[in-house]
């Protein structure tokens, strides 16, 4: 009778197999972390946060990640705030109490920040501290695009 070949398992082979297993587990965990299902479905407040962060960025409260400088564009800030207003109007009666409160309070705060920023920009332009960019203007004759940090008290 012929002897069956013996499988020789040494410690190097075991450690390589274990390392490969861990690597595969890490890859699988990374894939799961990257899929939207792991974070759950998107919710109404995610949409509100999206428009809010865009509006705040254009009001100069959030610096540009590439330059590190704040940029004020009243025109673009207004578009994002107005989008939240449309959302409020079109979802009236279809939101939970918490969603309605979130949207109402967020809109109130953003509108107040817009007014304050617009006043600060107008004053800075009047004093010659800021120069408008572009030919367009926001409502009220205020400059639309200013690529300079906002007036004191308006930074993040």
Domain residue ranges in the chain: 44-146
Question: Against a cut of 0.75, is the pTM above it?
Answer: no
DSSP SS3 for 9: coil
Q: Which two tokens stand for residue 154?
A: 């308006």
104 Cβ partners below 8 Å, 6+ apart?
Answer: 88
- pLDDT digit string, tens, across residues 76-89: 999 999 999 999 99
Q: Could you give the CA distance from residue 103 to residue 93 in angstroms, rounded to a whole number?
A: 13
- Say which residue the tokens 């759950």 belong to: 40
Average pLDDT over residues 112-125: 94
Helices (H), the chain: 11-34, 36-39, 44-58, 74-90, 97-126
Residue (of 46, 24, 23, 21) closest to 36 by Cα position? 46
- pLDDT digit string, tens, across residues 16-28: 777 777 777 777 7
Domain 44-146, CATH among 1.10.287, 1.20.58, 3.30.1370, 3.90.1200? 1.20.58
pLDDT level of residue 129 (50, 70, 90 thresholds): confident
- Say which residue the tokens 């004093």 belong to: 127
- pLDDT digit string, tens, across residues 134-153: 544 443 333 444 444 443 34
């Amino acid at each position: 009778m012929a002897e069956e070949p013996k499988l020789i398992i040494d410690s190097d082979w075991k450690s390589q197999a274990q390392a490969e297993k861990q690597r595969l587990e890490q890859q699988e965990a990374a894939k799961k972390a990257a899929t939207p299902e792991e974070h759950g479905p998107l919710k109404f407040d995610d949409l509100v946060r999206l428009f809010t962060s865009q509006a705040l960025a254009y009001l100069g409260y959030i610096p540009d990640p590439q330059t590190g400088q704040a940029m004020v564009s009243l025109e673009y800030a207004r578009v994002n705030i107005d989008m939240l207003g449309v959302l409020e109007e079109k979802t009236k009666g279809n939101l939970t109490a918490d969603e309605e409160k979130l949207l109402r309070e967020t809109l109130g705060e953003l509108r107040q920040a817009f007014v304050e920023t617009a006043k600060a920009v107008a004053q800075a332009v009047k004093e010659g501290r800021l120069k408008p960019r572009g030919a367009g203007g926001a409502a009220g004759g205020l400059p639309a695009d200013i690529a300079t940090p906002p007036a004191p008290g308006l930074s993040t």
